[in-house]
Amino acid sequence: MGLRAKRRRANLAGRLFLFTLGVAALAVAIILALLLLPGLMARQLGPGSPDLNPAEKSVLATYLAAHVSELDAPAGADDTPVEFSVAAGATAKGVAASLAQQGLVRDAQLLTYFMQYQGLDSHVEAGDFVLRKTMTLRQVAQALTDARARELELRVIEGWRREQIAEALAAQPAFAGVPNDFLMLSGPNSPRLGSYAFLSGLPPGASLEGFLFPDTYLLQPNASAASIIDKMLSDFQGRLPPNYQQQVAAHGLTVFQAITMASLIEREAVVDDERPIIASVMYNRLAAGQRLEIDASVQFALGRTGAWWPPLGALDLHTVNSAYNTYNNDGLPPGPIANPGLNSIKAVASPAQTNYLYYRALCDGSGRHAFAVTYQQQVANACP
């Protein structure tokens, strides 16, 4: 055999070896992929529904794995709650199409496949749900099987009056008709809801102003005004500090009077550490026989739709004819002017020990106040 023939045979053998090595490496890679891919997919997608046969699960998992980033992307940036209804007997495919039409998901087919893979397609509940465009596709799929997703959020801010709570209810279509009932059932001379001990201390004709505790409430879309009020009263009772009645009685107040003072503090104070100091000013003025002269009480008297807390400006406060005008009337107003938060409620029971009789807002916009013992000091604290 010639040298050239030997070289050709050697080259052929080398190429054959490399080819065999490549095939072996590819086989190993395929085997590893087959071994590792299910674990990888399981980490990305979950184990999948046990009701799927292996072929269905594999096809769905492969498709979903190729779109896994889309599963974790929201449909939009608008966080506004959107009410979404699912009719009885609706299919996952039909629900997904409706969600896409409302802009709550971007890809109806991807949602349908994901629900099938997770086995959620057979657990979609009929009813009304609250969704957001900021939810990911995974979150939307899960929400449709979770009754808690039907709950609507109602946030009651410290210092709101009853009418402002009613307006917050009116802003949610699911509560159409509830605001009027809410105002009636929480208003003067309304029937008392529940057997809460603190209600027995309300004078005849009093409203529930002051006792509708500021908090974030999760409500069913069909919640009645009575059930909403009951939640708020229950929250108030649960948050009221132990022995509160005895604590405020030591200062000469009933619980109703204490909540009335707390509502004044809530509307006057901005920073929490000043609430006990403002409480001390009110106690000191009452002890000295001075009128409270609280601007917020006049605002309450003048409040109207669209301006529940109107600016007083250069108004002569003494001209406002109202029992709530603490410039013209001695002592506390007839009842709370708003619904106070817990820190204002506690401040009444534990006021600071001071000799202050006056306070006025600082000129720096911080919301803090300058406190004074004498009227001359109060005048000196005025803004330039």
pLDDT at 84: 83
Average pLDDT of the residues of the chain: 86
Both 251 and 372 in one domain: the answer is: yes
Which of 220, 239, 258 marks a domain boundary? 239
Instruction: Check if the beta carbon of residue 116 is closer than 8 Å to that of residue 60.
Output: yes
pLDDT at 30: 45
Both 376 and 255 in one domain: the answer is: yes
For 68-79, what is the mean pLDDT? 86
Confidence of residue 36 (pLDDT cuts 50, 70, 90): very low
d(CA 157, CA 142) in angstroms, rounded, equals 30
For 39-53, what is the mean pLDDT? 68
Which of 239, 262, 282 marks a domain boundary? 239
Higher pLDDT, residue 129 or 40: 129
Count the domains in the chain.
Answer: 3
Instruction: Check if the beta carbon of residue 281 is closer than 8 Å to that of residue 356.
Output: yes
Both 249 and 358 in one domain: the answer is: yes
Both 249 and 329 in one domain: the answer is: yes
Residue in 108, 127, 106 with CA at minimum distance from that of residue 116: 108
For 16-31, what is the mean pLDDT? 54
Both 315 and 220 in one domain: the answer is: no
Which of 134, 150, 166 marks a domain boundary? 150
Both 135 and 218 in one domain: the answer is: no
Quote the strand ranges of the chain, DSSP E.
82-86, 127-131, 152-155, 216-219, 358-361, 369-372
Alpha carbon of 274 to those of 64, 211, 369: distances in Å?
Answer: 56, 22, 8
Q: What residues make up the domain containing 344? A: 244-380
Instruction: Output the six-digit token pair for 341.
Output: 């938060």
Both 267 and 349 in one domain: the answer is: yes
Alpha carbon of 306 to those of 295, 300, 302: distances in Å?
Answer: 19, 13, 12
Q: Is 136 a residue whose pLDDT tops 60?
A: yes
d(CA 278, CA 287) in angstroms, rounded, equals 14
Both 251 and 219 in one domain: the answer is: no
Both 144 and 252 in one domain: the answer is: no
